[in-house]
Chain A
Amino acid sequence: MKILHCPLNGPRNISEFVCGGEVVEMPEAGAATDGEWADYVFGHENARGAVREWWFHVPTAYWFIAERDTGTDEILRTYPASEVFGRRPP
């Protein structure tokens, strides 16, 4: 079984996790065009190589961020979301 290192729970079987998709910035609600919204909702980078994604540890309901290589199936780094989303917008 592949092991994913959860920032909260340590190394766990990857079957305990769910992938939540690419980390993307939400467009500004008032300013975005319909096309930008549709792309935000449906579009994916779907890159081969290093990607940054949301992951969820199901038993503890904990969301965090993982960087992994979609070409080699290696997990590069995992860390709490606060590293990226440290501050709330005013």
Chain B
Amino acid sequence: MPLGLIGHGLRAGRRPRRALPPEARLRPRYDVAIIGAGGHGLAAAYYLARDHGITDVAVLDKGWLGGGNTARNTTIVRSNYLTPEGVRFYDESIRLFRGLSGELDFNILYSERGHLTLAHTDAALRTMRWRAEVNKHLGVESEMVGLDELARLCPPLNLDRGARFPILGALHHKPGAIARHDAVAWGYAIAAARRGVEIHQNTEVTGILTEKGRVTGVETSRGRIACGKVLQAVAGSSSLLAAMAGFRLPIQTVPLQACVTEPLKPFLDPIVVSGSLHVYVSQSARGELVMGGPTDPYALYSQRSTLEWKEGLAAPMLALFPFLAEVRVLRQWAGLADMTPDFSPIMGLTPVQNYYIDAGWGTWGFKATPVCGKRMAETVATGKPPSPIAPFDLGRFAAFRQLGERGAASVGH
């Protein structure tokens, strides 16, 4: 068959179609510059064009499209958070995710697997009951399950009561899903480019130009651009960009690592998270086990992987699934998480006029890509953050209005 396949590939009319137009020259002026071609920046560009007719937009990235956290995360999408503001916000994202492949005409392999957060202590059970009640009150499917139900939902899980940290129950969130993360970035990029947005890779922003407290342009490695409005969506580099614009953030940048194993036959349907043991795992469409754990213990801008992290992951993972002992790790990598003190993001206005911020996504921002893009586009277009994102403003820290999500976000991303 291989010969036939080659012939098929060479036949006229079967040439691959170019996904993005060739990169244009950087123009001296745009209505809007978006810093960061991750999922967030690209989604914002798409919704600016689709919903607000704003297409004179340049998305600038120092590296390549989706090369930041967007294609480094473990792709968990869920809305079983703790604060009503958070639950409503992430739930809107799930609704957008469900229709995204059709909307973008690009398969993002969205797969609703169900999400299990295991409790190994009474304290964990208590937080989960609280989460389940908040979730149900807001119409989000979330319920506590006991061991019998857990054995049915996830047969390979080690429910031995004699384990060092026996499992007592779990929070079951049916809509929990995984998706192809780079497909989300490429889907938005192609759809935005089709509407006239320019995407400039290898274009690093090195300075923010302001006049009388208002942004007027950005300095880049390829020259200066004047622009009416700027959106920064740079995740791990948030504090560095904010410093260029002249303000400080309540953010620390910490590496977050993940790894995948060699592919196995499909055996694990749900996403399984253990807050107490600090690990989580799901099985990708390719059969690899995608595994993650805690962030690194100190602030750093380096995306190196460490042996300690892998060792720290292996012991608790084997407590949950002992038969994985013989399975090999294929790849390990890190991204840069922009951590806020309350484990909630920062979206909206900044001290600089017409300079908008989308930051503080820490370990949990992939799931928010559609809703954040849509709501930040609205913010940029109207100059006013719409009500679903208003509580996530930068001003909440000085006003002591934090949105504490630690109990729902510190491990299960």
**A: which residues have CB within 8 A of B?**
1-2, 14-15, 18-19, 21, 34-35, 38-39, 41-48, 51, 70-73
Contact = CB atoms under 8 A, between A and B. Distances in A.
A19 B239 contact: no
Contacts of B307: 1
B408 to A, nearest CB: 21
B126 interface: no
B300 interface: yes
Nearest to B240: A48
A33 to B, nearest CB: 10
B250 A42 contact: yes
A44 B398 contact: no
A19 B249 CA distance: 19
A42 B397 contact: yes
B30 to A, nearest CB: 27
B302 A38 contact: no
B249 A46 contact: yes
Interface in B225-268: 239-240, 243, 248-253
Contacts of B304: 73
A70 B299 contact: yes
Contacts of B308: 1-2, 15
Nearest to A44: B252
A47 B301 CA distance: 9
Nearest to B342: A42
A38 B397 contact: yes
Interface residues of B, number: 23
Contacts of A73: 300, 302, 304
Interface in B257-307: 297-302, 304, 306-307
A70 B299 CA distance: 7
A18 B302 contact: no
B397 A46 contact: no
Interface of B: 239-240, 243, 248-253, 297-302, 304, 306-308, 341, 397-398, 400
Nearest to A35: B398
A44 B251 contact: yes
Task: Report whether over half of chain B's contact residues are helix, strand or loop; otherwise say mixed.
Answer: loop
B21 to A, nearest CB: 33
Task: Report whether over half of chain A's contact residues are helix, strand or loop; otherwise say mixed.
Answer: mixed
Contacts of B297: 14-15, 18-19
Nearest to A19: B298
A70 B397 CA distance: 25
B300 A70 contact: yes
Given A46-B239, A47-B239, A48-B253, 14 more contacts: A14-B297, A21-B252, A34-B398, A35-B398, A38-B397, A39-B398, A42-B250, A45-B248, A48-B301, A70-B253, A70-B299, A70-B300, A71-B301, A73-B302
Given A1-B308, A15-B308, A38-B398, A43 B250 contact: yes
B44 to A, nearest CB: 23
Contacts of A43: 248-250
A55 B244 CA distance: 28
Given A44-B251, A46-B253, A48-B240, A72 B302 contact: yes
A38 B400 CA distance: 9
Given A15-B308, A34-B398, A71 B302 contact: yes
A44 B250 contact: yes
A19 B398 contact: no
User: Top 6 closest A-B pairs, CB basis?
Assistant: A46-B239, A38-B398, A42-B250, A19-B298, A42-B397, A43-B248
B398 A70 contact: no
Contacts of A70: 253, 299-302
Contacts of A1: 307-308
A42 B341 contact: yes
A87 B299 CA distance: 29
7 contacts: A14-B297, A38-B397, A38-B400, A39-B248, A43-B248, A51-B299, A73-B302
A68 to B, nearest CB: 8
Nearest to A55: B298
Contacts of B397: 38, 41-42
A18 B307 CA distance: 18
Q: Which of A19, A41, A46 has its CB near the most chain B CB atoms (within 10 A)? A: A46
A89 to B, nearest CB: 25
A44 B298 CA distance: 13
B299 A46 contact: yes
Contact of B248 (A34, A44, A51, A72): A44
Contacts of B298: 19
Nearest to A36: B398
